[in-house]
Amino acid sequence: MSQRVTIEQLADWLRDRDDIVVMGHVSPDGDATGSTLALWHALRAMGKRAVVCLPGGMPLLYAWLSGADQILDTETDTLPFEPKTALAVDVSEYDRLGEAGMKRFDSCLYQGVLDHHKTNEGFGQLFVLDGEAAAVGELAVDLITALGVGMDANMAECLFVAISTDCGNFNYSNTRPQTFIAAARCVEAGASADRITEKLYRTRTLGRTRLLGAVLAGLEVSPDGKVAWARLTDEMLRCCDADKEDSEGIINYLIEMIGVKVAVLAIERQEGTKLSLRSKTPFNVARDVAVPLGGGGHDCAAGVLLAMPLEEALQKTLAMAREAVDKTTAEMINA
Ligand code: AMP
Ligand code: MN
Ligand code: MN
C-alpha cells in the first residue's frame, strides 16, 4: 500500500536514505531528464551515493545538460553500487519505468515517487503527487529547497528545462503562477532562459527538420476537420537520418491546426506502436482515449503504447478519438 505524502515528508524520508537510484520513465522527455538529473545533483551535493537511470540512457536532445553524460541506461548499464533506495520521477504509473526499471525499482528496499500526472494512482511505499503542477520540475525545485540544498546553476538549468518543456515554454494551460515562480528561482540560481530556450526551441538538426517534413507530408484530417493524424515509421527515421527522439514536438503541428480538436501521431516502435495524443480543452485525450486503451497522461497531452502493428493501432485509436470528439461536442451543445 503506498502512502501519499507532502514534499516536506518526502524530503525527510530522503534525508535518511542513501545509495539512491533516481529513475525516469520510458521515452524520457525534458521533464523526466531534467528533473532526475537535478535531483541527482542535489543528492550528491548532500554527500549521498546516487545514480540517475533512464530507459535507453541519456536522451540525445538533452546531452548538453550538465551531468547528462552520467546518466545510465536502466536497461543495459551495471550500476556502480547496489541501490537501496529508488526514487521514480515523472513516472505516471509503475509500468512506465520499463521492464528493467520495474525490476530495479522492486530490488530497492525503499521506494519513493515524485510525480504530477493526475492519472497516477500511486505506487512505491510513498509518493508525492501534485496533479496541478505543470512539470515535476516545479515540484523538484520545492523538494531541493526542502532538502536544504542550495540550488546551483547546474540544478537550475536542468530544472528550467524540465519545467519549460512540459508547459510548452509557459504557453500551455497547465502553466500556473507556481510554474513561473519555480522557473524564476531557476533563473535566479543561474539558469539562462535565453541559452536554454535556444537549445530547446530555436535549433534543430537537418535530420529532425527532414523528419518533420516527412511526417507532415502524410498528414490526414477527418472530413469534419476535427481529428488529425500522421504516421512516423522506422523507414522515415532512416531516410531522414533522424533519431527517434526527433519525433518530439511534431504532434504540435497537428493539434495547432485550426478546427482540430484531437490529434494522433502513430510512431512505429520495436514493441509495437506508440500513440502520441493531444487535444484542445474541453476535449480530454487522457480520459477518453489513452486510459481506456491502457495508457495515461494529462487531459490534453497523453499517450499509450499498443502491442500492434502501426496501422492497426492507429485505426483503433482513431475510432476512440472520433467517439471522444462526438461525445464532447454533444455535451458542449447540451450544456
Ligand atoms: P508524449 O506524446 O510522448 O509527449 O506524451 C504525452 C504525455 O502522455 C506524457 O506526459 C506522458 O505522461 C503520457 N504518456 C505517453 N506515453 C504513455 C504511455 N505509454 N503510458 C502512459 N502515459 C503515457
Ligand atoms: Mn514526462
Ligand atoms: Mn512531466
- The answer to whether the predicted template modeling score (pTM) of the entire model surpasses 0.85 is yes
305/295 Cα distance (integer angstroms): 7
For ligand 1, whether the C-beta of 297 sits within 6 Å is yes
| Contact indicator for 163, 197 with CB cutoff of 8 Å | no
Task: Report CA(301)–ligand 1 centroid distance (Å).
Answer: 7
Length of the chain: 335
| Contact indicator for 33, 65 with CB cutoff of 8 Å | yes
- Cell numbers for 280, please give them: 484542445
The structural domains of the chain, ordered by start, are 3-201 (3.90.1640.10), 206-334 (3.10.310.30)
242/263 Cα distance (integer angstroms): 22
Task: Report CA(85)–ligand 3 centroid distance (Å).
Answer: 21
CA distances from 152 to 16, 18, 145, 191, 329 (A): 22, 21, 11, 9, 48
Task: Report CA(121)–ligand 2 centroid distance (Å).
Answer: 16
Q: What are the backbone dihedrals phi and psi of residue 93, each rounded to the nearest 5 degrees, phi first?
A: -155, 155
For ligand 1, whether the C-beta of 269 sits within 6 Å is no
Task: Report CA(332)–ligand 2 centroid distance (Å).
Answer: 30
Query: Could you say which ligand is closest to the alpha carbon of residue 115?
Result: 3
288-291's contacts with Cβ under 8 Å and 24+ in sequence apart are: 288/320, 288/321, 288/323, 288/324, 288/327, 288/328, 289/262, 289/317, 289/320, 289/321, 289/324, 291/119
Give pLDDT tens digits along the chain (335 positions): 899 999 999 999 999 999 999 999 999 999 999 999 999 999 999 999 999 999 999 999 999 999 999 999 999 999 999 999 999 999 999 999 999 999 999 999 999 999 999 999 999 999 999 999 999 999 999 999 999 999 999 999 999 999 999 999 999 889 999 999 999 999 999 999 999 999 999 999 999 999 999 999 999 999 999 999 999 999 999 999 999 999 999 999 999 999 999 999 999 999 999 999 999 999 999 999 999 999 999 899 999 999 999 999 999 999 999 999 999 999 999 98
Which candidate, 189, 7, 178, 1, places its Cα nearest to that of 87? 7
For ligand 1, whether the C-beta of 185 sits within 6 Å is no
